[in-house]
Structure 1
């Protein structure tokens, strides 16, 4: 009887391991597609893919995180293309999934994306929204940094903010560059907790460090 119970336990463990491997494989396959996305449509399709994984893996925060990240990247491309009037839509979609992710785990990565989503909303009308969405973005960044001061993506976004903010509003390309260097140092020592945790951002830090100041 003990032998039978042991065999049954091993079967259960094997099935569980296979399920985890299947989840990680599906996630890794989609995560690797992030770099290939070039258009809002690409990121929308990827958000849909992560959403399908999230519907199956209801106890995992990472699929919800990547749905939100895909929407934020979609919005950032729209912002780059001058379509700022439309930024509320991807930002609000991202916030919906981040709220769900936060019920599973409260961590620095989730709050950093909330900061990025609020920043997108602010860019719809910076003068009018600086004291509302801009303030919320700053609050979320502070929470993200408090939860994990060593998070390299927090340092990266702080560098972006400093680099791209006009000098008359407190920005500085020189100080931004120094923050990109600090971010890179943190990336070089950063180790994700799982194979599907966020790792994005290092290439961006390296890019800005390589650019001459103008």
Structure 2
């Protein structure tokens, strides 16, 4: 009887989590970004040892800064994102996906103001991708976005970005192989391959 009650309670908890995550993704898809981030945060606070809600809350804020010119908004969103990633890291150590997202956060600083943040954040981006790839050598997001970062750096220094095109081919293969049984596990990035491959033409 005790086992049955435990099983029922677990099923209810899982369905509530899945329902909440589904709603958060729905809000995000409807461009209700802050509502989605806030819901992911609430789910994260309710869940024990689950890094995914905080991860997605961080991603929303990071993505929103690209193309934003308002300094106050950029600083606010990236500070929130870092706090969410710090929280995610308390629930999952040596997690390549969290490190990739943190690399994107640091990239967002550089993209926003290279003169101000380039020196301090560029090395951090490179370090985070290297660590992520050492943990998961075949993580498609780590390989793809590290290649994009390296291509941007090559252009900046007047070098040929095509040197990193083979890495994109690797990422394509890794996307095809990637699979996870964990609900809501990150699977984004494949739709950006064509855009990044423009550097190879």
Provide TM-score, normalisation by structure 1. Answer: 0.81
**Cα deviations by residue, 1:25-48 (Å, 9 ceiling, x for unpaired):** 3213433554553xxxx3222211
- 1:178 is aligned, of 158, 162, 166, to 166
Q: Show CA shifts across 1:89-123 (max 9, x none).
A: 22211111100110110200111111111111223
Aligned to 2:148: 160
Matched, 1:15 2:9: yes
Matches within 5 A, 1:89-128: 89-106=76-93, 107-128=95-116
- TM-superposition CA deviations, 1:67-90 (whole Å, max 9, x none): 101111111242xxxx17353322
Mapped partners of 1:28, 1:152: distance in 2: 24
Q: Which residue of structure 1 lines up, in the alignment, with residue 34 of structure 2?
A: 44
In structure 2, relative to structure 1, the CA distance for the partners of 1:159 and 1:71 (3 Å cut) is same
More deviation, 45-54/85-94: 85-94
After TM superposition, give the deviation of residue 176 of structure 1 in Å.
4.7
Number of residue equivalences: 199
Q: Does 2:59 correspond to 1:69?
A: yes
The alpha-carbon deviation at position 145 of structure 1 amounts to 1.2
Determine if the alignment matches structure 1 residue 191 to structure 2 residue 179: yes
Q: Tell me how far apart the structure 1 counterparts of residues 61 and 20 of structure 2 sit (CA, whole Å).
A: 19
CA distance in 1, matches of 2:166, 2:70: 29
5+ residue gaps, structure 2, are: none
Larger Rg: 1
Q: 1:71 to 1:171 in 2, by over 3 A?
A: farther
Provide TM-score, normalisation by structure 2.
Answer: 0.85
Q: Give the gaps of 5 or more residues in structure 1.
A: 1-6
